[in-house]
Amino acid sequence: MPFKSTKPKPPLNEAGLYDYALKALGRSMRTESELRRQMRQRVEPGESGEATVNSVVTRLKEHGYLDDKSFAETFTRLRVENEKLGSRTVRQKLAQKGVPAPIVNETIEARYAGTDEEALARQHIERKRLKKPENEKETARILRRLIAAGFSTRTIYKILRQWDIPEETLSALDSIETDSLEEGLPHE
């Protein structure tokens, strides 16, 4: 088994950092914020290192390799088409990746404008192979899963009512929903 040296790597100059950034972008799409964080680990600390990072970011943008707007559009499209996620979760994930709020808002509005949230939630349920709940515990589990997937409570309750879940069970879920929100799950 080869052993990895713990010796720190020497700081990169601008040309080396540019190559490093291109390879990082070649492995996966990144936001400017993510790439800056990654590059800061490979330059000298302080103003000279930050100037090198800024210079490389400028070059990457000029060549079209780094664009938060196209990242947000692609990221959102893939989350809707492949994972069937609601807008709230996608908005939260983009913010975590460091996409500026105006770009996030514009992208979410554009992607979800013509989307039927109920149909998307049903596709999510089908994709996750969730079955009609048989009891209150299963109903609560489905509620939490759909909240975590970013769907509005209005849509979730509409789906549960169409499954003929008793109103007493839905009333009991209000406390579960409140608990989930306190744990940091997204909510409308």
pLDDT at 187: 42
Residue 4 lies in a domain: no
Residue 188 lies in a domain: no
Residue 6 lies in a domain: no
Residue 9 lies in a domain: no
Q: Over range 15-44, report the average pLDDT.
A: 95
Q: Same structural domain for residues 104 and 135? A: no
Note the pLDDT tens digit of each residue in 42-54: 999 999 999 999 9
Q: Same structural domain for residues 131 and 169? A: yes
**What is the value of pTM for the model shown?**
0.79
Max avg pLDDT among 37-41, 154-158, 163-167: 37-41
Note the pLDDT tens digit of each residue in 81-100: 999 999 999 999 999 999 99
Which domain covers residue 36, as residue numbers?
14-62
Q: Same structural domain for residues 140 and 127? A: yes
In the chain, the number of structural domains is 3
Residue 171 lies in a domain: yes
Q: Same structural domain for residues 104 and 138? A: no
Q: Over range 53-81, report the average pLDDT.
A: 96
Residue 8 lies in a domain: no
3-class SS string, the chain? CCCCCCCCCCCCCHHHHHHHHHHHHHHCCCCHHHHHHHHHCCCCCCHHHHHHHHHHHHHHHHCCCCCHHHHHHHHHHHHHHHHCCCHHHHHHHHHHCCCCHHHHHHHHHHHHCCCCHHHHHHHHHHHCCCCCCCCHHHHHHHHHHHHHCCCCHHHHHHHHHHCCCCHHHHHHHHHHHHHHHHCCCCCC
pLDDT at 177: 58
